[in-house]
Amino acid sequence: MMNKIIALLFLLVPAAAYSLDDGQILIDGPEVDLTLGELRMALRSAPENVLKLLLVQPKKIREVMDSTYMAKVAATRARKKGLDKDPVVAAQIWKFTNNILAEAEIADVQKQLVKNADYETVAKELYISEKDRLKVPETFVASHILLSAEAGESEEQLLERAKTLRQQLAEGKLDFKEAAKQYSKDTGSAEAGGSLGKFNRGRMVKPFEEALLALKPGEISDPVKTRFGYHIILLEEHTPAHTKPFSEVKEALVQKAKNKVAHEIKVDYWLKVKNDPEARVNEDVFKAFADKPIVTP
């Protein structure tokens, strides 16, 4: 009975209670081990957006574990061979380490300097200066039925046929989409119930566009003559030209402002380092080397 109670208690212990410290061995290999801490470091080295995806996919975490172990085995073998002392490899390690630390330093400076930055104000300034880029052209969403003359049909007969069809549509005797599929000679739009989708002003021929401008959303035009035949147009949406409101673009402009400020801080940082008056170049040594550069002493 006591054994059953003990077993039950073990089942009730939540998984999170199992201690996972960095020193625990994940892979016990013949040459090297891989610890949980090393896996955590490998994951932390991934970009933040990638890390978020990795942490919810056990399969991907295992792939990182395997690749990290394989790299550690190869790196250990390289050290045993003394390859880390090879001039080219040593130079690459030195450069890589410096670059990583330099990036960390810049990121830290940026973080300290932008704490109290008023990005919304900067975003509003960008909004004013970029208003031309934020303009949205006048657009329409419309459908049409195109009628063209049948064999032996006169212009007058075609127009009368178009008027009759338009009357039936206006009275609700025919469904516009079904009528377009059945009667429209514009095969490209007919299959979609006459839909022309969304398009900018200036795309359609002048008589067609003039008819659109005279309609209100939901209205059907009288037959409109163009070089293609007679069109019966249904206007579904009409959006006048306008500038996107600040509320719509605020998030993107704030991000742009952050990027702008971060870039300016980075440029300023490097200029100060480069132009530091206390950092003096030994021109004689540099000239002697530049005249006859030898990388391997």
Give the percent of the chain with pLDDT over 90: 81
Q: What is the pLDDT of residue 297?
A: 61
Q: What is the pLDDT of residue 295?
A: 82
By mean pLDDT, which of 159-168, 202-211, 250-259 is the weakest?
250-259
With the C-alpha atoms ordered 71, 73, 74, 80, is the resulting torsion angle positive or negative?
positive
* Judgement on whether residues 234 and 149 belong to the same structural domain of the protein: yes
Q: What is the pLDDT of residue 68?
A: 96
Inside any domain, residue 184: yes
Q: What are phi and psi of 186, to 5 degrees?
A: -85, 90
Give tens-digit pLDDT for 28-54.
999 999 999 999 999 999 999 999 999
* Listed residue (27, 117, 120) closest to 69, CA to CA: 27
Inside any domain, residue 166: yes
Residue 149, CB-side half-sphere exposure with 13 Å CA sphere: 11
Q: What is the mean pLDDT of the chain?
A: 90
Give the percent of the chain with pLDDT over 70: 93
Separation CA 184–CA 199 (nearest Å)? 20
Work out the pLDDT band at 19, boundaries 50, 70, 90: low
CATH number at residue 139: 3.10.50.40
Q: What is the pLDDT of residue 7?
A: 40
Work out the pLDDT band at 11, boundaries 50, 70, 90: very low
Q: What is the pLDDT of residue 12?
A: 38
Model pTM?
0.59
Q: What is the pLDDT of residue 116?
A: 72
* Judgement on whether residues 166 and 23 belong to the same structural domain of the protein: no
Domain that includes residue 45, residue range: 19-81
* Judgement on whether residues 114 and 189 belong to the same structural domain of the protein: no
Work out the pLDDT band at 113, boundaries 50, 70, 90: confident
In angstroms, how far is CA 60 from the centroid of its own chain? 22
Q: What is the pLDDT of residue 9?
A: 35
* Judgement on whether residues 64 and 209 belong to the same structural domain of the protein: no
By mean pLDDT, which of 47-51, 74-78, 137-141, 190-194 is the weakest?
47-51
* Judgement on whether residues 140 and 196 belong to the same structural domain of the protein: yes
- The mean pLDDT of 13-41, rounded to a whole number, is 82
* Beta carbons of 186 and 144 less than 8 angstroms apart: yes
* Listed residue (189, 283, 290) closest to 236, CA to CA: 189
Q: What is the pLDDT of residue 241?
A: 94
Work out the pLDDT band at 88, boundaries 50, 70, 90: very high
**66: pLDDT strictly greater than 70:** yes
The first and second tokens of residue 46, run together, are 């991934």
Q: How many domains does the chain have?
A: 3
Inside any domain, residue 208: yes
- The mean pLDDT of 6-34, rounded to a whole number, is 69
* Beta carbons of 159 and 148 less than 8 angstroms apart: no
Q: What is the pLDDT of residue 171?
A: 94
* Judgement on whether residues 118 and 139 belong to the same structural domain of the protein: no
Work out the pLDDT band at 114, boundaries 50, 70, 90: confident
- The mean pLDDT of 278-290, rounded to a whole number, is 93
Tokens 């566009």 locate to: 209
Q: Residue 190 forms beta bridges with which residues?
A: none
* Judgement on whether residues 249 and 123 belong to the same structural domain of the protein: yes
**16: pLDDT strictly greater than 80:** no
* Judgement on whether residues 24 and 165 belong to the same structural domain of the protein: no
Give tens-digit pLDDT for 216-227.
999 999 999 999
